[in-house]
Amino acid sequence: MDTSAKSLPAISITALSKHYRLAGKSVRKAVDQLDLSIAQGQIYGLLGANGAGKTTIIKMLCGLIIPTSGHIVINGYDLARERYRAVQQIGAVLEGTRNVYWRLSAWENLLYFGRLKGCRERELRIRARQLLEELELWERRNSAVRTFSRGMQQKVAIACAVIADPSIVLLDEPTLGLDIQAARTVKDWVAKLAREQGKTVILTTHQLDIAQQLCERVAIMRHGQLLADQPLTHLLKYFREEHYQIRLRGQLSSEQAALFAPLNMSYADGESCLTGLIGNQAQLYRYLADIERLQLPLLAVQLLEPSLEEVFMRLLSAGKEVKDHVA
Ligand SMILES: Nc1ncnc2c1ncn2[C@@H]1O[C@H](COP(=O)(O)OP(=O)(O)OP(=O)(O)O)[C@@H](O)[C@H]1O
């Protein structure tokens, strides 16, 4: 296979399913007839509620779970028929804290994973040093990973995943449990992997603000199927006509705020701000009628671009597939 072709998708998934047999004759469809194509050099977010099937997809891409049916092609290599070559294209950090050896130092972990992946000794040492320096871990390279903070451990795990310089990096919940500063370091580094080194990054996360900052394209999954698979900018435009901000002078009482309950309420500088998706004009007028009835001083009603979190919640509650028709 020609892996150098730029037009080749990094990952191509066709009619992929994973069905688990449960007790009796019942079956859980963790992933169900999924089609997906992920372009080279993209940061791709795989989003969905708990149990949507994200980790199952990541594990199938790594070759850790055998699909029930369907095909996975990675940089042109069929995972079922050319497994070694296909898996070589990938570096992965799975969910949780056990991606690296806690008794080994950061340096030893990098050398261990590099040798396991067939790196040559001289290049391996140069790359290990470069990665540890980039991630600000060089000073602590000889300390056992178990003595590291959660953020430092996660940085070591990501460094181990990319030690052999794979072109595709899979990150399952890369910022879970990290404090704001550690999450930002990981986030900035993920962005650098794609934008400066041209790597394809596929990440799952429940932190939708991080997905919104990082991802160029986003898939939203529900019950093993796709509800949406679109460029982030398209998705954010999807409910643009329905996302409002209503500003009022003064602070609402809790009884007054309850009338606008599905909207987010904030108060600052003497103004109350109601923000959220208002699905139709009739609902908007009902809110405005309440405002008039309560004699709340109205300052402004404005259309806003929704956040990814609002689009996500809306899509999940609607439960309908979204076609890519937004220009
Ligand atoms: N080994 C297994 N046996 C049976 N069912 C499983 C197994 N592994 C996963 N599942 C089920 O498959 C579905 C998808 O799980 P998966 O872990 O892929 O979801 P997820 O989107 O990653 O969820 P989360 O966000 O909670 O990590 C869930 O209903 C889960 O309970």
263-285 per-position pLDDT tens digit = 989 999 999 999 988 878 899 99
Separation of alpha carbons 108 and 66, rounded Å:
31
Ligand 1 in contact with 73 (CB < 6 A)? no
Ligand 1 in contact with 207 (CB < 6 A)? no
pTM of the model: 0.83
Q: Which of 19, 22, 47, 56 to mutate to test the pocket of ligand 1 (most atoms within 8 A of CB)?
A: 56
**CATH placement of domain 240-305:** 3.30.70.980
How many angstroms from the chain centroid is the CA of residue 173? Answer: 7
Residues 218 and 252: beta-carbon distance below 8 Å: no
CATH architecture observed for domain 11-89+166-236: 3-Layer(aba) Sandwich (3.40)
Count CB-CB contacts under 10 A for residue 130.
Answer: 12
168-215 per-position pLDDT tens digit = 999 999 888 888 888 888 899 899 999 998 999 999 999 999 999 999
Under the banding of pLDDT at 50, 70 and 90, the label for residue 320 is low
Q: Find where tokens 């998708």 sit.
A: 9
Nearest atom in ligand 1 to the alpha carbon of residue 53 is 18
- Ligand 1 centre to CA of 61 (Å) is 15
Report whether pLDDT(2) > 60.
no
Separation of alpha carbons 80 and 73, rounded Å:
8
Asked if this assembly's ipTM is beyond 0.85, the reply is yes
Ligand 1 in contact with 54 (CB < 6 A)? yes
First to last CA, the chain: 35
Separation of alpha carbons 182 and 151, rounded Å:
5
Distances (CA, A) of 281 to 96, 242, 278, 287, 294: 45, 9, 8, 10, 20
Nearest CA to ligand 1 atom 8: 56
- Ligand 1 centre to CA of 115 (Å) is 32
Of 110-114, 123-127, 261-265, 293-297, least confident by mean pLDDT is 261-265
Domain boundaries, given as residue ranges, for the chain: 11-89+166-236, 240-305
